[in-house]
Copies of this chain bind each other. A is one copy, B any other.
Amino acid sequence: MANFKGHALPGSFFLLFGLWWSVKHPLQHCWKKRQPGPRPKLPSFFNRMDFVEGVLKVFFAFVGIMAEQFVPDGPHAHLYSTKEQAWVKLMNWQHSTMYLFYGISGIADILSMSSLPVPQGIDRLGLSLALFVEGFLFYFHVHNRPSLDKHIHSLLLVAVFAGSASTFLEVFKRDHPVLELFRSSVAILQGTWFFQIGFVLFPFNGPEWDQELHDNIMFITMCFCWHYAVALVIIAISYTFVWLGVQRFVARQRGDTEIGLRKTSKSNDASSQKALLQDSDEE
């Protein structure tokens, strides 16, 4: 992990999930809003999405664990070297542990989507625990490091624990739009912040950052807020496009229905057409 790629990889995962959630959750809510009345038309499609999400999580977690273990300089599943009387590559083991809990969260997602009698909310608890474990391991991860390195990682913890806490709230307040958008935004924040850590600690060109300069720490703190502002803007744009898309989809669907009705009406009597049009208006 101690290079740019090692930070870009988890960053991409979080960014991916954050962006995906920033599309999925607005889609669910706009869909619900456009469809008043007790017609539960969405389940089959949305449930399948959640199922795929769970499977992807498990897959990514598996790939992540394998990568951490079997990269050339990885521990290759050896935990303790009796020859050297020392632990083997604990950093890789810690990252594997983080991936493990995201895998557990994925399994919880899949179980929640299945028809098994799993208590509702276990998927949110799973995600909350995965985030907590990530933050927990990071917290003890960054001791004995230079100031800037420590600071930039502990800012990550703000995003991680905020996500963990708000996801835990979702156990009780399921499908709360504000909590879901908040979760999406901190996931995006985490994703982009991983990239930022990579850029700062392993700059592509130019000199290394001075790890002890107070101005660097001040800038990084502020930069974290900017990342969050960008995450909020992304969420807002995503929400807007989803809403416009749903609007257009519903309008086209209605148009199709009306065209269909007109065609039908030619061969039918006028009174039935009127009744049908009234129906379509009520939708």
Q: List residues of chain A with CB under 8 Å of any chain B CB.
A: 29-30, 33, 86-87, 90, 93-94, 97, 100-101, 104, 116-117, 119-122, 125, 129, 133, 136-137, 140, 143-144, 158, 171-173, 176-178, 181-182, 214-219, 221-222, 225-226, 228-229, 232, 243
The answer to whether B97 touches A140, judged by C-beta atoms less than 8 angstroms apart, is: no
Q: Are B87 and A214 in contact (CB under 8 A)?
A: no
Chain B residues near A218: list those with CB within 8 A: 87, 90, 94, 140
B229 engages A104 (CB within 8 Å):
yes
Tell me the number of copies of this protein.
4
> Which residues of B lie under 8 Å from residue A116 when comparing CB positions?
243
Q: Which residue from chain B places its CB closest to the CB of A219 in the assembled complex?
A: B87
Smallest CB-CB separation from A182: which chain B residue? B125
Cα A228 to Cα B178 with chains together (Å): 30
CA distance A97 to B158 in the complex (A): 18
Q: Which B residues touch A222, using CB under 8 A?
A: 90, 93-94, 97, 137
Q: Which 5 A-B residue pairs are closest in the complex by CB-CB distance?
A: A119-B177, A121-B178, A140-B221, A90-B218, A87-B215
Which residues of chain B have C-beta atoms less than 8 A from A172's C-beta? Answer: 173, 176
Closest to A91 in B: B218
Q: Known contacts being A178-B125, A215-B90, A222-B137, is A101 close to B229, with CB within 8 Å? A: yes
A94 and B214 CA atoms in complex are apart in Å by 14
- 9 A-B pairs within 8 Å (CB atoms) are namely A94-B221, A101-B229, A125-B178, A137-B221, A140-B217, A140-B221, A143-B214, A172-B173, A172-B176
Q: A232 contacts B104, CB within 8 Å?
A: yes
The complex places the Cα of A137 from the Cα of B158 at a distance, in Å, of 13
Q: How far is the CB of A191 from chain B (nearest CB, A)?
A: 18
Q: Least Cβ distance of A16 to chain B in Å?
A: 23
Neighbouring B residues of A221 by C-beta, 8 Å: 94, 136-137, 140
> What is the CA–CA distance of A173 and B225 in the complex, to the nearest angstrom?
27
In the bound complex, CA of A178 to CA of B127 (Å): 13
Closest beta carbon of chain B to A61's beta carbon, Å: 12
A122 surroundings in chain B (CB, below 8 A): 178, 181
User: Contact check: which of B97, B226, B243 meets A226 at CB < 8 Å?
Assistant: B97
